[in-house]
Amino acid sequence: MDKKTLLPLLAPEISKIESAMQAEFANITSSLLVEVVTHGIFNGGKRIRPILTMLSARLAAYSNMPDGIASEEELTPPNELYRLAMVFEFLHGASLLHDDVIDHADTRRGTETAHSKWNNEAAILAGDYLHTKAMTLAGTVGDSHCLALIGTATAAMIDAEFLQSQAVEQQDSSEETYFQVLRGKTGALIGSACEVGVFFADGNEAQCQALRTYGDALGLAFQMVDDLLDYQGDTSKTGKAIGNDFSEGKMTLPLIHALTEANPEHRQTLTNLLQATPAQRQQAQQQATEIITNAGGFSYTRQGAETLIEAAIEALNIFPDCQAKATLIGIAHYVLSRDK
Amino acid sequence: MDKKTLLPLLAPEISKIESAMQAEFANITSSLLVEVVTHGIFNGGKRIRPILTMLSARLAAYSNMPDGIASEEELTPPNELYRLAMVFEFLHGASLLHDDVIDHADTRRGTETAHSKWNNEAAILAGDYLHTKAMTLAGTVGDSHCLALIGTATAAMIDAEFLQSQAVEQQDSSEETYFQVLRGKTGALIGSACEVGVFFADGNEAQCQALRTYGDALGLAFQMVDDLLDYQGDTSKTGKAIGNDFSEGKMTLPLIHALTEANPEHRQTLTNLLQATPAQRQQAQQQATEIITNAGGFSYTRQGAETLIEAAIEALNIFPDCQAKATLIGIAHYVLSRDK
């Protein structure tokens, strides 16, 4: 399933999720706060996290339905499910608002960022607002189990950001640290977006576990492809400068692998560059990319992502074939094929 | 009850709350994150919010105990209550971490702030971490009702920050806006710190309402005294520069009252100063203070705070006399007498 097939399938759900998000701002008194959170949330995002919640819930509901009661198409998700799915988009929006302050980023997806359009105060507090709403919805529309899942994943995400900073500082080039950071930063929240959907739809323990496995693996693979695109992407498609990770000295998998597998001379070159300045690394970007290519760093990373996507799809084997399952499989394939 | 009587009464509870907070950081993987949240939370704060939760719970528990079962001293709060009380300190700590980034503050209570000791990233993300933990504890140690109370109060707090920015921008000098901002910024969270304690101790609806009234009024009065100290405090005691609010053009009650009650000439002087630059206002601080004094702005504000404290204490009338009640009354009196 490619992007052209996926998008029309998802569009109606995306539109319902967006209406639900908009409605959530009705209780805000300050018109300025409404403006800033709206700017933060309606930013051209793909809504992949809430979509995963909706699809996971649909998959569980369909699988557990007694035969012949209704067809999959007739399943109408309750409004509450849209509000629960929204939690993941609010959390994502909150972290983007804060990230843009931290990175001093002036634009995101071609649009002025909130802290640049208003100021740091507006961006930080609007992020806090989305965070508060997300956690409140998690435990009131959902229950204490949903809240615990989401709270644990969010805490792990922040913990991983700090681990990553420490890894950069310490030039920690172990695969173990890389995957530990990845699991926290991306895997945990995507895994819980899927698991919460199944749990809300009264899926059993095995079904919850299957979707968590799917989501964890999907999140990891997504981030690994991101790390590949940072070296190999087409700027005109990704909209991001190439080589940022290397300039910043970020230990992503292609580089980590090359540091182990390159010949001694090349390894020394990489090690020297990692001790040089960001500007020097930026200049040596092409050389580094060649060394990583020769050491198999990119193919190793892609292979790793492919293995994870296979595992994600395999986890869905316990479910009967249906549209929701096909779409989840389609999303998994898309993660590998995306070029932006 | 003055500070000297209050402190020894509260010290053992404060120490238990602090141990509980420390224990909550045991699951963090990154040593850097532990350092930053510890710095953010163990900052010499008075722990007034969790203390209010503990006292409110104790008051309700004692009031509802069948006669003769146990004396008040024998009531041992469950560990869970300390973890729930901690929520309010975590939320407070999160908002201080973020405020210091927003205000570019280098020190707080004589100690280097987190963003100054580390960087914006560390301070913002550590705030997010405390926020996440707080909300998760609210809905898991507490329940969905506790979470809803705390989530609503936190959202109101942020909403009020934006309202305040808008009020400064629009030079909105209405008492109505002032109290609306105050209720959101301080009243709501202190009110819910009290109410959650009663609710957790199985207090009835009237008891919950009484402690919410107490907390709301206490929070408002606390902030009004803060606004007085900003003009009239002793820098050597408050540790804060005098006249900040006026320099920043903040419409606090003493100034709002003077804008209505001063004679036409004085009113014009204030209005002109509000259209001047912060530096010009800082220079004219003494003149402004005199005008506000003559117009009765300070006595009006103090009277307002006194009336609120009376109402707070009156709300406790439905409870029998006991140590917890006496301490809550003592805290209310302390709010009026404090000079820092």
For residues A69 and A5, what is the distance between their CA atoms, to the nearest angstrom? 28
For chain B, say whether A30 makes contact (Cβ under 8 Å): yes
3-state secondary structure chain A: CCHHHHHHHHHHHHHHHHHHHHHHHHHCCCHHHHHHHHHHHCCCCCCHHHHHHHHHHHHHHHHCCCCCCCCHHHCCCCHHHHHHHHHHHHHHHHHHHHHHHHCCCCEECCEECHHHHCCHHHHHHHHHHHHHHHHHHHHHCCCHHHHHHHHHHHHHHHHHHHHHHHHHHCCCCCHHHHHHHHHHHHHHHHHHHHHHHHHHCCCCHHHHHHHHHHHHHHHHHHHHHHHHHHHHCCHHHHCCCCCHHHHCCCCCHHHHHHHHHCCHHHHHHHHHHHHCCHHHHHHCHHHHHHHHHHCCHHHHHHHHHHHHHHHHHHHHHHCCCCHHHHHHHHHHHHHHHCCC
What tens digit of pLDDT does each residue of B144-159 get? 999 999 999 999 999 9
Mutate to test the interface with A, among B154, B162, B163, B182 (most CBs of A within 10 A): B162
Query: How close B91 comes to chain A (CA, Å)?
Result: 10
For chain A, say whether B151 makes contact (Cβ under 8 Å): yes
**Which whole number is the average pLDDT over A155-162?**
96
**In the predicted structure, residue A8 carries a pLDDT above the cut 90:** no
What tens digit of pLDDT does each residue of B15-44 get? 999 999 999 999 999 999 999 999 999 988
For residues B121 and A169, what is the distance between their CA atoms, to the nearest angstrom? 14
- CA B186 from centroid of its chain's CA atoms: 5
For residues A70 and A78, what is the distance between their CA atoms, to the nearest angstrom? 16
Which candidate from B32, B102, B135 shows the least CB-CB separation from A135? B135
Per-residue confidence band for B1, with pLDDT thresholds at 50, 70 and 90: low
Spell out the long-range contacts of B3-11 with Cβ–Cβ below 8 A and sequence spacing 24 or more. B3/B334, B3/B338, B5/B330, B6/B327, B6/B330, B6/B331, B6/B334, B9/B323, B9/B327, B10/B47, B10/B51, B10/B327
Per-residue confidence band for B309, with pLDDT thresholds at 50, 70 and 90: very high
Cβ neighbours of A135 in B, within 8 Å: 131-132, 135-136, 139, 147, 151
Q: What ipTM did this prediction achieve?
A: 0.93
Q: Which CATH fold would you assign to the domain B3-220+317-337?
A: Farnesyl Diphosphate Synthase (1.10.600)
Mean pLDDT, all residues of chain A: 93
**Which whole number is the average pLDDT over A232-251?**
82
Which candidate from A101, A129, A151 shows the least CB-CB separation from B124? A101
Query: How close B8 comes to chain A (CA, Å)?
Result: 35
What pLDDT sits at residue B301? 97
Please, which residues have CB within 8 angstroms of residue A153's CB and are 6 or more apart in sequence?
A188, A189, A191, A192
Q: Which residue of B has its CA nearest to A125?
A: B158
Q: Which CATH fold would you assign to the domain A3-337?
A: Farnesyl Diphosphate Synthase (1.10.600)
For chain B, say whether A125 makes contact (Cβ under 8 Å): yes
- Is the Cβ–Cβ distance between B62 and B324 less than 8 Å? yes
**In the predicted structure, residue A241 carries a pLDDT above the cut 90:** no
For residues A63 and A51, what is the distance between their CA atoms, to the nearest angstrom? 18
What pLDDT sits at residue B2? 65
What tens digit of pLDDT does each residue of B80-97 get? 999 999 999 999 999 999
Q: Which residue of A has its CA nearest to B100?
A: A121
What tens digit of pLDDT does each residue of A31-84 get? 999 999 999 999 888 899 999 999 999 999 999 988 766 677 778 899 999 999
Per-residue confidence band for A172, with pLDDT thresholds at 50, 70 and 90: confident
What tens digit of pLDDT does each residue of B98-146 get? 999 999 989 888 889 999 999 999 999 999 999 999 999 999 999 999 9
**Which whole number is the average pLDDT over B324-340?**
92
Which candidate from A124, A132, A158 shows the least CB-CB separation from B101? A124
For chain B, say whether A36 makes contact (Cβ under 8 Å): yes
What ranges do the domains of chain B cover? 3-220+317-337
